[in-house]
Amino acid sequence: MIAWLINDRGTRAAALTRRQAPGFTLLELMVVIVLAGILISIVSFNVTPDPQQQLAREGERVGQLLALAADEVRLQQTPIVWEADLTGFRFVTERGGERALLTRDDLLRERTWQRPLQRLAVVDAGRTQAPQVLLGPGAPAVRRAVAREWIQPRWRLELANDVAQVVVDFDETGQGHVANLPSR
């Protein structure tokens, strides 16, 4: 294609111009692919949660839910029991002499562990009772009554799955404090 241009002397000059095909060069495409690969690897590395941190967050969540259940017990004067097995946990109350799950409260609903547990133990700090330990599926759930008093006995919750283990120590006020144990 010939285009007419006016040069700086004011005369017309013919210039040959080439039409370039629209698109990207191979080098530009390779740079974009490499950058996308780097960004995806960074994001996937940051998004992949650490199993130890996941279990620690679950331990914290159980501690917060038990504190909430203790407030409910004090307000409603109704006994609540925390039950847990290797697949999940639930809050149970007694109505009319029958055991009933707390279903009206969205926070105290039945939940499953993010990763099934291999070991679950409830241990009294004073060692007045034998520890309740679950090591296999099908075992009866561990049970812990939610205390109605403001001052409670110390106790410990031990959680372990196939890659991590966590201990939640409950103090006299019923607050749970998570301690990470070394990974298996």
Taking 80 as the threshold, does the pLDDT of residue 141 lie above it? yes
Question: Where do the H-state alpha helices sit in the chain?
Answer: 26-47, 51-76
> Using one digit for the tens of pLDDT, what is the confidence trace for 116-125?
888 888 888 7
Going by their DSSP bridges, the two strands 88-95 and 80-84 should be labelled as antiparallel
Q: Are residues 58 and 142 both part of a single domain? A: yes
Taking 70 as the threshold, does the pLDDT of residue 93 lie above it? yes
Q: Are residues 109 and 27 both part of a single domain? A: no
Q: Among candidates 74, 100, 90, which has minimal Cα distance to 143?
A: 90
Q: Is residue 46 in some structural domain?
A: no
Helix (H) or strand (E) holding 142: strand 142-145
Q: Is residue 96 in some structural domain?
A: yes
Q: Is residue 70 in some structural domain?
A: yes
68-89 average pLDDT score: 85
- 101 neighbors 123 (Cβ within 8 angstroms): no
Q: Is residue 44 in some structural domain?
A: no
At 149 the pLDDT is 78
Taking 60 as the threshold, does the pLDDT of residue 137 lie above it? yes
Q: Are residues 79 and 129 both part of a single domain? A: yes
Longest dimension (CA), the chain: 107
The radius of gyration computed from the CA coordinates of the chain, to the nearest angstrom, equals 31
Tell me the pLDDT of the chain averaged across its residues. 78
Distance CA 147, CA 138 (A): 27
Q: Is residue 101 in some structural domain?
A: yes
Residue tagged 């004073």 (tokens): 126
Q: Is residue 43 in some structural domain?
A: no
Residue range of the domain that includes 20: 2-36
Counted domains in the chain: 2
Going by their DSSP bridges, the two strands 119-124 and 155-160 should be labelled as antiparallel
Distance CA 97, CA 83 (A): 17
Q: Is residue 41 in some structural domain?
A: no
Q: Are residues 95 and 172 both part of a single domain? A: yes
Q: Are residues 66 and 12 both part of a single domain? A: no
